[in-house]
Amino acid sequence: MGAATSDHPDTARRSFFGRLLALAMVARIWPGLATEPERSPALTATQRATLGVCADILVPGAAAAGVVEFVATMLGRPDPWLCYRFVSLPIPIGQFYRSALDEIERYCRQEFRSSLGGLSPRAQGEFIAGLARAQLDPWRGPPQSLVYFALRSDAVDALYSPIAAYQQLRVPYMAHIAPPHGWPSV
């Protein structure tokens, strides 16, 4: 007998149950998330501040390059250009970012008695190292390594994607399609 094709009923059933299992696993790891409807993509002032500080720790200069405007603008688009879209979690993108930023703030206030921005450079480094290694406990947000990956990638994109960044690095810019000039105007 040959292998099942994509239109075979067993393949469709396995695919459905695979997605259902992934959703159930996310709901177990991240309680209440799978059933919460997508809210407005806007970020609160606290979330914006947390994003700016966190991105700047991950990639110095990202805040000045407009990472907050980049992410906020992208969250308002139907198909955002954020690396989170390349992962397979069934969590709406806006919900992921809001939950991640809220959890960073909650964790820092609980464990360090300060917002991320109010911590010493050493404590900020310890927080980021724990986030990268998924060692922050108790953590109630999205998977830590995914939060690290997404925020770091966004910081790199905001800082190094515009043509001006290439000019500062003295690297020739050879884009197939030229991007906008800056994130606030995207």
pLDDT tens track for 28-57: 444 444 434 444 458 999 999 999 999 999
Q: What is the pLDDT of residue 39?
A: 46
User: What's the average model confidence in pLDDT over 2-10?
Assistant: 52
Longest dimension (CA), the chain: 64
| Distance in angstroms (rounded) separating the CA atoms of residues 39 and 108 | 24
Question: Which strand (E) or helix (H) includes residue 16?
Answer: helix 9-29
Between residues 92 and 176, the one the model is more confident about: 92
Taking alpha carbons only, the member of 135, 156, 134 closest to residue 147 is 134
pLDDT tens track for 100-122: 999 999 999 999 999 999 999 99
| Distance in angstroms (rounded) separating the CA atoms of residues 150 and 100 | 10
Domain boundaries of the chain, sorted by first residue: 1-35, 37-185
User: What's the average model confidence in pLDDT over 2-20?
Assistant: 53
Q: What is the pLDDT of residue 36?
A: 42
User: Rounded to two decimals, what is the model's pTM?
Assistant: 0.72
Q: What is the pLDDT of residue 87?
A: 84
- Whether 16 shows a pLDDT value over 80: the answer reads no
| Distance in angstroms (rounded) separating the CA atoms of residues 58 and 131 | 11
- Whether 69 shows a pLDDT value over 90: the answer reads yes
How sure is the predictor about 184, in pLDDT bands with cuts at 50, 70 and 90?
low
pLDDT tens track for 119-177: 999 999 999 999 999 999 999 999 999 999 999 999 999 888 777 767 777 877 776 66
